Each structure stands twice: as C-alpha cells, then as structure tokens.
Structure 1
Amino acid sequence: LITPFAIGLMTAAEEQVRTSADALEDEDGSVETGATQEERARANGQALQDVQKFADCLLLGIAYGATCGGIATITGTLNHYFFAGETLVSSELVWSRWFGFGIPISFVTVLAAYASLYFRYVRSLRFQGINHEVLQAEYDELLSEVGPFSRDELAVALLQLVQITLLIIRPFAISPFITTEFGSSLVNDATVACAPAILLFFIPSVV
C-alpha cells in the first residue's frame, strides 16, 4: 500500500513544480528577456530533477525498509523459513531466539541504509518539499480508496501485538509449564502464532 501512495505523492510533487513554473511564466512572461526565460527554464528543469531524485530516494527507502525489517524475524523472508526447516537447526531455532539475533542486525542495517540515502540523495537535494494542499489531496484520495481507520483494524493490530509478545515469551514463560507427563512441551511457535489468529473468528466485525 505504501508504494502506490509514494508514487502518487511524487507524481503530485512533479505536477506541483510544473504548475508553479507555468504560473510564474504566465505572470512574468511578457516582461522577461530571452536570458531570463532560459534561466527560468533551467531552474524548472533542475526542480524536476530534484523531485525525481527525491522519488528515487523515497522508493529505495521503502525497499531498504522492507529488507531491514525482514531480517529481524524468522517469518520476515522466505529464506528464513527454509533455513529454520533444516534438520540441524530446526529443534533449536525458535522465533524469539531469531528475534534476539536479528533485531540488532536489523537496527544496524536501518542506520546504514539511512546514512546511504542521506549522503547519496538528501544532503545535496534542493527540493523544497510538497505543499499542504498536495499532501491533503493525496491523503483524501488514499482515504477514499481504503476508508478510515476502523475498529476491525484496531482489533487486528492488538492481536498482532499479542502474537508477537507470546512468540517472544513462549520459551521461558509458556512452554515450560505446558508439557506432557514425559516433559515434552505441548506448545511451540506455531501454537502461539495461531492462537491469537483464531480469536479473529470470534470477534464480530463492524464492516
């Protein structure tokens, strides 16, 4: 959802630059000399390049964010699933252990990605931003497509937090207390991952 919104926002920013340039040209075109018109055209071209540069930065930031976030959890990418299924590690590799291993790496890669984007794109950027009217128009369009924040979305978000909490505390706060008479645990990551999801079938929807 964020990528189409970002693309729409950058398209609106480009239209804003073009509209501002046309308005200034209509206002001052009758008194401008050839040199002045050339300077204005050069400035408009530079402004459009700055918008494109900012768009590149924004889309790369989304891609980097997805990659950095995917490192943090065992469910973040498909590669982690394959690795976790290997016989040598399947009995030891649990969600909370991977999270403890992956979150520092994820944090470092976020900082590295931010620094890379800042020094490559943002530091030399002269793009002045997008005015409030453009932002409001894009927000209204997005709101008309997806609708306002609902109680159902809040319920899903809260259950997602419960699920993450259970996955983190499961090895030391749940599994040791739910075992067979032979000491084998009856609860694993799949159990605590599915339990909150099952609750969604019992929570009435308002949609």
Structure 2
Amino acid sequence: GFMLTAALLSMWMTNTSTTMMLLPIVTSVIAVIADTVRDISEEERKNFNLCLLLGTAFGATIGGVATLVGTPPNAFLAAFLADNYGIEISFARWMLVGVPVTIIMLPLCWLLLTRLVYPISFHTSPETRELLQSLKTSLGSPSSAERRVGIIFLCVVAGWMTRPWLSKFLPLDGVTDPGIVMMAAFVMFLVPSGGKNTLRLLNWQQTKELPWEILILFGGGLSLAAAVSTTGLAHWLGTSLVPLGAWGIAAIVVGAVVLVIFLTELTSNLATTATLLPVLAALALELGVSPITLTVPVALAASCAFMLPVATPPNAIVFGSGMITIPQMAKAGLWMNLLGIVLLSIVALILAPQVLG
C-alpha cells in the first residue's frame, strides 16, 4: 500500500516531497505494529520495519520514472532532445514508456523486499486493523483549499494527457506542457482558499520556498549540454567512441545503463544526465541510429539508483529516520540496481524506439 501510494504521488510531485510526507505515517504504522502485534520474532519485526521504510523510498523513486515531471532527468531529456535535435517528447508519449516501467518494477520491488531480501509472513490482528482505521478516520474530510487544489491538479493532468490529441482539431500550436502548468500556477495565485481564510491557494511566500536550486541546476545543465554540442566536443567524443559500435547497439545500451545507475549512486542524477546525454546522442548519430536509442536509457537509469543514502533524496530521507543502516539499504538496493539494469535495457532497446520514434 505504501509503495503504491508513494509511486502514484511521485508521478506528479517530487519524490522528495512524497517521501517526507509519507515518512511520519510510516513511522506511526511501525509503532502501531510494535504495540499490537506480539506473536512475531524480533527478526521478522525488524524485516517489516525495513520493508516499510525501503518500500516507501523505492516506491517514490520508481513512480518518478513514469512521467516527465516525476524526476528531473526525464524533463531534462525532453528539453535536450527538443533544443538540439527537434525531437518533441510530449507528456503523454513519455508515459507510454515510463508507466510500463513503473507497473513492472513496482511489484517486482515488492517481491524482492518481502520475499527475498527481508522476508515477512505475519498477519495483522483485528486490534491492529481497528487502530489503523481510527488513525485514518481522525484525518477528517478534505478542506476547501485541498479540494480546489485537487481540481486544478486534475485539470493540469487532463491538459497534459489530451493536448496532443486536441491539437489535431484545435489551433493549439502555441500551447505546451510547461505552459499548461504555468497557467495552473497563475490560477492558484488568484483562487481563494475558501472558508474564513482570505489567503489565495498560492502566495509569494510559499513560492519562495520552492527548490530553486534544482531549477538553476537544470538550466545550467542545459547550458552545459548546449555548449558541448555547439563547440563540436560532443561530435568529437562521439567519433572517438565509434569503435564501441563493434560491440553492437545492445551492448552499448546495457553498458550505459550500468554506468549511469552505479555512477548516480555517488553523484547528482541531473548532473550525470547533463554530462552524458550530449556525448551519447552524438555517438548514436555516428552509429546511424536515433539519439533516442542511447539517451532514453541514460535518463531512465539516472533515476534508478537504490543502494546508498546519497543516491536519491528518498533514500536519504528514510536513512535520516535512524531506523535503517547503510548496509541494510545497500543489500536491498543492489538487487534493485540489478533489476533496473535488466528492465531498463529491455525497455530502451524494444519499447522506447517504437513509442518515441
């Protein structure tokens, strides 16, 4: 349940916010289980805690792969291909690749955690279920502001999903996916929160708390990628790597996925993406294949590092709870990295070229 919730939320908001929002609930459930379920061993209790914590973090990471807004490397890839090669990847088209990855990876992650790495098999008691239900009831119904934000959010998603189809019948050439979300933000500055609250849904004080450093890093990465391409460095590096073509495209894709997944364990996924995309795109052209063939696996792999706390913000957040150690995280993360290598390589070689062109 927590894995699915984390994945669904991370499709539309940052995995950092998702994990921070869910972690207090996770720790509350862990406390309830500790107080009400007494007929299990200490080892199984520890495994349950680890599965819940890691499942939430991994679910948030996996869910971000599904959409362009779920994780920065996805959005960076779309902007890079549009700016440098005129290849447009719409929100809906990316979901045809990202959603299958999430749908396949999420249950496999659950199986790895609960059956292989940290096996659990106990069942909750009626007392536990009643206590959890009471906690759910205490949340109450959504407020007026929450309902209004939800309506705007659904309108944004509907706009993202239907824009390519509507553009065939309506003059929407100037409407883009970023334009839709910017319009939604503008509307939230105008719509009141409702009730006795005179504030708007969004104000400048809240806007100042946005993670602007990510946007600056994103823009800097695009500038770096443009410089690498326009100066001829990408072409030179791509030409230098042409001998790798003797191994075949499949071997290069697998090698790129392995490199990026383990490199991202120690570096920023956005910085890794910005560094490698121009080089691999140039290599793809030198080998006579579409840049999509080598760039899509890089973007996907950059969001699939699971071993270390520094690999992704969700890992760092659950590690900060003090309820999990680095060896425990690395043990599960290694299996997830191996799963990611196999799955992402298959998707990059078979699904992505057919869907994205």
Counterpart for residue 135 of structure 1: 132
Counterpart for residue 160 of structure 1: 153
Whether contact under 8 Å (1:71, 1:105) holds in the other structure is yes
Measured on the aligned residues, the alpha-carbon RMSD in Å equals 2.8
For the residues of structure 1 that align with 2:86 and 2:112, how far apart are their CA atoms?
35
Match of 1:72, SS state, is: coil
Counterpart for residue 182 of structure 2: 194
Unaligned runs of 5+ in 2: 1-20, 198-357
Whether contact under 8 Å (1:72, 1:105) holds in the other structure is yes
Counterpart for residue 39 of structure 1: none
1:205 shift after superposition: 1.3
Unaligned runs of 5+ in 1: 21-42, 180-184
2:47 to 50, 53, 71: 53
1:124 shift after superposition: 4.4
Residue identity opposite 1:16 in structure 2: T
Query: Between Structure 1 and Structure 2, how many residues are aligned?
Result: 172
Matched, 1:10 2:30: yes
1:164 shift after superposition: 0.8
Deviations 1:161-184 (A, max 9, x none): 1111111111230376336xxxxx
Whether contact under 8 Å (1:175, 1:188) holds in the other structure is no
Whether contact under 8 Å (2:145, 2:193) holds in the other structure is yes
Query: Share of identical aligned residues, percent?
Result: 25
Match of 2:167, SS state, is: helix
Q: How does 1:14-33 map to 2 (within 5 A)?
A: 14-17=34-37
1:89 shift after superposition: 5.1
Whether contact under 8 Å (2:64, 2:70) holds in the other structure is yes
1:98 shift after superposition: 0.9
Further displaced range: 68-77 or 114-123 = 114-123
Counterpart for residue 200 of structure 2: none
Q: How does 1:86-101 map to 2 (within 5 A)?
A: 86=80, 87-88=83-84, 91-101=87-97
* Structure exhibiting the larger radius of gyration computed from Cα positions: 1
1:155 shift after superposition: 1.5
Moved over 4 A (4+): 121-124, 136-141
1:200 shift after superposition: 2.2
Counterpart for residue 120 of structure 1: 116
1:137 shift after superposition: 6.1
